[in-house]
Amino acid sequence: MPAHSVTAGQPAAGNASVLIVEDDLGIAAQLVRALSRGGYQVDHVVTGHEALHRPDPDVVLLDLELPDTDGVAVCRALRQRSDAAILVVTAYGEESDRIVALDAGADDYLVKPFGLGELLARIRAALRRARPGGDIIRHGPLAVDVRTRKVAVDGAEIALTPKEFDILECLALDPGRVRSRQEILEAAWDTNWYGPTKVLDVHIAALRKKLGAAGLIETVYGRGFRLGDLQ
């Protein structure tokens, strides 16, 4: 078994559940796919009624325009019973809409269209606020502090660029799982990345050099990258 653990406090993505409340099936399918790739446990419902009858998740992505009821009313009802982080995801961008949703108990407000990178960052931030105390992922000699974005190998802190950290975090959230190039690019750059994937090789090479631990980042030819199964 790989030496991997997460400190008490905010769960790693692989342990955090997300409920998507969205009646646009195209948008919902994209969100389910992206968040599942990111290691989250994802459930999707179309109506406010369904949302209020689901077990409480860690995070709710809530559209305001629902077919059966007002999304603000759903937000208010969820907040009254749950400590889940509620992120409103909507096409309504007016200040008055933001104020109403935030006053109803939403933790954050994101206007469509948005990039996957920003959404994932806001989910992580919401989880940190909901569960203060930090989140350190350990894998062999590696320690990744998601809250402070600090990395250490055998106790020695390693200075990484923001992109290098995002790549490492993507791999560390589910050690041993192969991450495709596209998954890593979407996590570290954006869901709409259309540039050359060779840019990833440059960053991976720099990351390996800085970390120094042989075999920590493995290349799985034809598939992508993963953290090595270290003892």
Kindly report the CATH number assigned to the domain that includes residue 105. 3.40.50.2300
Looking at the structure, do residues 15 and 112 belong to the same domain, yes or no? yes
Domain termination residue (choose one: 97, 130, 163): 130
Least confident of 33-37, 66-70, 129-133, 165-169: 129-133
- Answer with the residue of higher pLDDT: 68 or 173: 68
For 17, the 3-state DSSP assignment is strand
For residue 29, what pLDDT is reported?
93
Domain termination residue (choose one: 130, 159, 193): 130
pLDDT exceeds 90 at position 16: no
For residue 5, what pLDDT is reported?
39
**Amino acid, res. 211:** L
Q: What is the CATH number of the domain that holds 158?
A: 1.10.10.10
DSSP state of 82: -
DSSP state of 70: B
Please give the average per-residue pLDDT across 128-152, as a whole number: 77
For residue 10, what pLDDT is reported?
39
pLDDT in tens, 71-121: 999 999 999 998 899 999 998 888 888 899 999 999 999 988 888 878 888
Looking at the structure, do residues 76 and 166 belong to the same domain, yes or no? no
The count of domains in the chain is 2
Domain range spanning residue 182? 135-227
pTM over 0.85: no
Residue 5 inside a domain? The answer is no
Residue 4 inside a domain? The answer is no
DSSP state of 189: T
- List, edge to edge, every strand of the sheet that includes 85-90: 41-45, 17-21, 59-62, 85-90, 108-111
Helices in the chain by DSSP H: which ranges? 25-37, 48-52, 71-81, 95-103, 116-130, 162-172, 181-188, 198-211
Q: Average pLDDT, whole number, for the chain?
A: 84
For residue 8, what pLDDT is reported?
31
